[in-house]
Structure 1
Amino acid sequence: MANAAESDDGRSSPPGDFAWGATLPDDDPVMKDAAVGRRDAILFVIDLSRPMHALATRAGQAPETPSQSALRLSLHAVRTAIRHRIFAQDHSLAGILLYNTSQSAGTRFPHIVVHEELREPGVETVLKIDQLLASSAQQLTAEYGCVEKCAVGDVLWACNSLFVHAPVKLARKQICIFTANDNPHGKDKKATAFARQKAFDAMAYKIETIIFPLVRVEPAGQFNMQLFWQGIVQGNGEEGMAVGRSGLGDWRDLEAPIRIKDADTRHVARLTLSFGDGLECAVSVYSLTREAKRPIPVKLSKHTHEEVKTQRLCVDMEKQDVLLPSAVKHFLTYDNRQLYFTAHEMEQLKCFGPPGFWIICFKALKHLDPVFHFRAAHFLYPNEVAMRGSTKLFAALLIKCLEKQVMALCRYIPRPREPPQLVALVPQDTQRDANGKQTTPSGFLIVFQPFADDLRERVALEYNRPTASATAVEKATEHVKRLHISCQPQSTYNPVLIKHRRTVESVALKEKVEKETAEQRLEKDRLMDQTWPRVDEQESGPVR
């Protein structure tokens, strides 16, 4: 925890990225997606010109023996990326666009084919890519053609149009271009200037352009970004799919094994933080790392295969009429009498006050007991857009909490008609890695606390406890120490989810479902026996 620094005018400056009078920090990953209901979208743009049919290698990667054409390398990478988004980012949008074709389809621009519209990818998208991979170079040329006169400016314009006409609001937009031609327009200055102008327009719409270059084997050479593509990707931010200021994409991100479901930081609620009578600031609540679960199964009709929806109706048993909600009353038996309540009165009984945070007191951080943890924490951040001056008040509270090493105990009502919860606002300062990139933003962690009647005293039971020898205790202590490993929850793979994904994917793509054989299970047991020596009676003696 870092204390506040002194500014030029003598005032204490907020920790981390807060600044007096500023709105929101630009490099804060939490605020990148503050809109509710917005999704990420990505367009894979593949070049179909003649250089893409030659043997090639991935630029920027370790030397490898070329065995596939540049087009097949691109299609394999796109197929893996689509499968990853289906599992890890199930609500994101993806599309595929082909250019340098002799025909056009799905757009008004020449030599461009929209192979897959911008939508949620599914089995159909993967099967279409498999059809392209199963086709030979002659078949692809006969179906789509092969030219080298498509303007890159038209490609960027077509991508921008697809993003504009997306079916939902988009929070993040990316264009991934796969090409083996480092100078598509040669000495045509007019086409180059037009492409750079459209790239500038894409940046104005917050569209990130990433280049995945491929190096041809014959003629041997390198992919020179400075000839053309550097002017297209210049100005890209440092966020995104492992893209730096050079604009080169990382092939490892596209072809990485699918092992974990992404848990992006998402906006939960916009509330107020009350300090007392007449003093409050606007804040936003964000979800952090949470448990990934298997998708809920959807019930389908046996005859029409449509989703079955449940509808609840109240029916009068005497008249067999459907009752309106206003005609239904609830009652509570008290002293042999029935007390009736209307639906509105029942809602009022559940209302404990307006949603928000109310500071009760401050306590030292040493009183935060990890034993009290019973659910995942949230993150609190100021909302300058909803109430001007919230950043200043929020930063002042954060400074004092970091200086005095205290936390704020609050009453928290997340939504109307929900019971209040006791939470602790734990201060958190900004942390950066060796490259200066922010890894932890400034703000408060919302740690949920139990109430007094939720705590129970542990009573020691008196019984004849078994005793063990000193050797057995030593062996058991060694095993317990080996169980303690340093890891992050984000990097721990869930084998249940991995097996579920593989099974569903195999059934959907009509592939063979991999099953673990008895030999594989015995091999795992043998490896565990080698890693974890057994504590048997011959070594440690029996337990009495």
Structure 2
Amino acid sequence: MAPYDDWNRIDEDDEDELQDISWLEGKRDVILFCIDCSESMLELRNDSIYEDTKTCHLYSALEAAMQIQKRKVLVGPNDSVGILLFNTSRRNESTSQGSEIKRNNFVYQPIEQISAPKVLELMQLLDAARDDPEFLRTEFPPLSGNKRVPMGDVFTSCNWVLRDGAPKTATKRVFLITDEDDPHPGAGGQRLITSSQTTLLDLTQAGVTVEPFFISTEEKPFDTSKFYSSILLPTNLEDTDASLLPESIFITRIEDLIAQMRIYEVPKRSIFNVPFQLADGFVIGVKGYGLVTEQKKGSYKYFVDLGDKMGVAGSKTIYADIDDDAIVEVPKDEILYGMTLGATTEHYEKGGRVVPVGSRVFYTAEEVKSFRSMGLEPGIKLLGFKDRTELRFEDNVKHSTFIYPDEMTYSGSKRTFGALLRSMLAKAKIGLALALTRRNAPPVFCALLPQEEKPDETGWLEPSGFHLVPLPYADDIRAAPIDEGSRASGEIVEAARAWVLKLAVKNGAYPPDAYPNSCMKMEPGD
């Protein structure tokens, strides 16, 4: 018979997350740098750091890729990075992967886990390019006659590189770096645009996110309306907004490329993906993102000596039935959960589910889960509206979740979500909702706090959306049971003064080196 604590263990045994797309759950991050290698990217310019040195946009893009790899050695050693160059006449080596790469697309570094030799190879390339400004042009010659690779072929090559090298459960992203705003001018451009839209959709459906970094200078400003606004999926909620690509980054100073990439270095992973019911038969899709998370100490691991190496010892918990010195594992679906009611029941015969009334109650794991969720399906249901002033500061007792529309689940979710958001902001209202974000979690009443978009010259400071604020129970906001404070009498204060004065440091100075901190001895030095 399972004790009360085992009822909560159901969540740990078979927790059913609501993230249906497995690539969003991956802990590993995969970044493919897709860098333009055209004539304009190889044009020499004065370097902003080194005097009397000329570099190009391609050099800066490769340096940004190198800096990201160096940072991931510490923050994400299990992540993978690759580099793909397009609009170059250099051919790929004869490998199994190279046969699928389109022409004039060169894989400089395939998708592989971060390693020191891989970073060193890129550093040596950059050192050679700094000594010889024409080195990159010789190493990666651009196409002659201002010819350009169809962007559809570029996206197809990215798909093949990621498919062959990236883990299936990883978060896959493509950092597109280019300074050409119209890669397909002239006749036949519309056909190439359609092809680019199709291949980019295939890339997106494979779980890959394309994050563009457009290089815009005074001599050559970048205009997204010529090509990229028609192929990249818009992420804004306003249909009438002229900024069709709010997630794109316009680099006016190429030295800012590394700083901008650090913002996008960590992938955005949604913690749930559920339907948002506005009324009966009126449903849209939303995703939830955690804005604050608790940094916990890593768990201990046990290792076993395998002779030539040390391996991690895994642990497994099983439930077994011991009978006649034989241990037989019991399947999880046959385990019952219950508690003892009333007096002890040791005198009852073991093994039977039928017991006297009022003695024991047994439930299956599915029944316990139904008690938690009250038979509700995962989702967020809008119940009504209240004035903004009704939401008090003390109501926020838990971390809120930021929800954003998911167009891939229900078509038209962004437009409907945006209309609701604008209406609530104009009327200064908040929403009341019943939220069940995990299948085996209890439903919670929440407040929908609208947040208006706050734009910046270079992007968004805060995106538009709703904060899903869990409302507290009555016990969560009860007053502290303190009737009267305790104050020391004058005699006690005088008695304590004698030994408090003896705690004073001699000469009125405190040399920290004379009092080493024992807890810091095991910490690594900077």
| TM-score using structure 2 length | 0.58
Counterpart of 1:447? 469
Does the 8 Å contact 2:320/2:327 carry over to 1?
Answer: yes
User: RMSD value over aligned CA atoms?
Assistant: 5.5
**Paired position in structure 2 for 1:291:** 293
**Contact 2:37 / 2:85 at 8 angstroms: preserved in 1?**
yes
The aligned residue for residue 369 of structure 1 is: 392
Shift of 1:373: 2.2
Change (3 A) 1:73 1:441: closer
Q: Which amino acid aligns with 2:155?
A: N
SS at match of 2:256: helix
User: 1:115 & 1:396 partners in 2: Cα distance?
Assistant: 46
Match of 1:81, as an amino acid? I
2:92 corresponds to = 104
Q: Which AA in structure 2 matches 1:43?
A: F
What one-letter code is carried by the residue in structure 1 that aligns with 2:148?
A: G
Tell me which residue corresponds to 1:457: 479
- Partner in structure 2 of residue 161 of structure 1: 156
What is the alpha-carbon distance in structure 2 between the residues aligned to residue 332 and residue 309 of structure 1? 31
The residue aligned with 1:80 is 67
Pairwise CA distance, 1:445: 2.2
CA distance in 2, matches of 1:353, 1:464: 53
1:335 is aligned to 342
Give SS of 1:282's match: strand
Question: What SS does structure 1 have at the residue aligned with 2:327?
Answer: coil
Q: Which runs of 5+ in 2 are unaligned?
A: 1-18, 201-209, 233-243, 346-359, 491-522
- Report what 2:319 is aligned to: 314
The whole-number CA distance in structure 1 between the counterparts of 2:319 and 2:75 is: 41
| Corresponding residue SS for 1:320 | strand
Identical positions, percent: 15
Distance 1:440 1:323, change over 3 A: same
Q: How many angstroms does 1:334 deviate by?
A: 0.7
* Correspondence for 2:512: none
Report the alpha carbon displacement of residue 293 of structure 1 after superposing the two structures with TM. Answer: 3.4
Give the secondary structure class of the aligned counterpart of 2:107. strand
Q: CA deviation at 1:96?
A: 1.3
The aligned amino acid for 2:361 is: L
**1:23-79 superposed Cα distances (whole Å, 9 cap, x missing partner):** xxxxxxxxxx99773577442437599x96x97435xxx686233654765543321
Contact 1:315-1:323 within 8 A present in 2 as well: yes
Instruction: Tell me which moved more, 252-261 or 440-449.
Output: 252-261
Quick one: distance in 2 between partners of 1:67 and 1:34? Answer: 51
In 2: Cα distance, 1:256 partner to 1:126 partner: 20
Query: Per the alignment, do residues 251 and 357 of structure 1 end up closer, same or farther by CA in structure 2, a change over 3 Å counting?
Result: same
* 1:251 counterpart (247, 252, 255): 255
Q: How many residues align?
A: 413
User: Does the 8 A contact of 2:373 with 2:441 survive in 1?
Assistant: yes
**Structure 1 residue runs without a partner (length 5+):** 1-32, 185-189, 215-221, 468-512, 517-544
Check the 8 A contact 2:396/2:471 in 1, yes or no: yes
* Amino acid in structure 1 at the alignment position of 2:108: H
- 8 A Cα contact 1:48 1:98, kept in partner: no
Q: 1:503 is matched with which residue?
A: none
TM-score (norm. length: structure 1):
0.57
CA distance in 2, matches of 1:230, 1:382: 25
Matched residue, 1:379? 402
- Structure 1 residue 270: Cα displacement: 1.4
Q: 1:241 to 1:125 in 2, by over 3 A?
A: farther
Report what 2:110 is aligned to.
Answer: 117
**Are the structure 2 counterparts of residues 69 and 305 from structure 1 closer, same or farther at C-alpha, using a change threshold of 3 Å?**
farther
The structure 2 residue matched to 1:264, chosen from 263, 268, 271, is 268
3-state SS, counterpart of residue 266 of structure 1 = coil
AA aligned to 2:339 is L
The offset of 1:387, in angstroms, is: 6.2
Contact 2:289 2:403 in 1 (8 A): no
Match of 1:418, as an amino acid?
Answer: A
Q: Using the alignment, how far apart are the partners of 1:464 and 1:118 within structure 2?
A: 67
1:66 corresponds in structure 2 to: 52
Q: Which moved more, 1:290-299 or 1:456-465?
A: 290-299
Give 1:170 deviation, angstroms: 7.6
1:175-194 mapped onto 2 (5 Å cutoff): 175-177=176-178
The residue type equivalent to 1:281 in the other structure is: V
Secondary structure of the corresponding residue to residue 148 of structure 2: helix
Query: Tell me, what secondary structure is at the counterpart of 1:160?
Result: helix
Counterpart AA for 1:153: R
Partners of 1:364 and 1:357 in 2: how far apart? 20
Structure 1, residues 355-384: CA drift from partner, whole Å, max 9, x if none? 334556654432322223232212345667
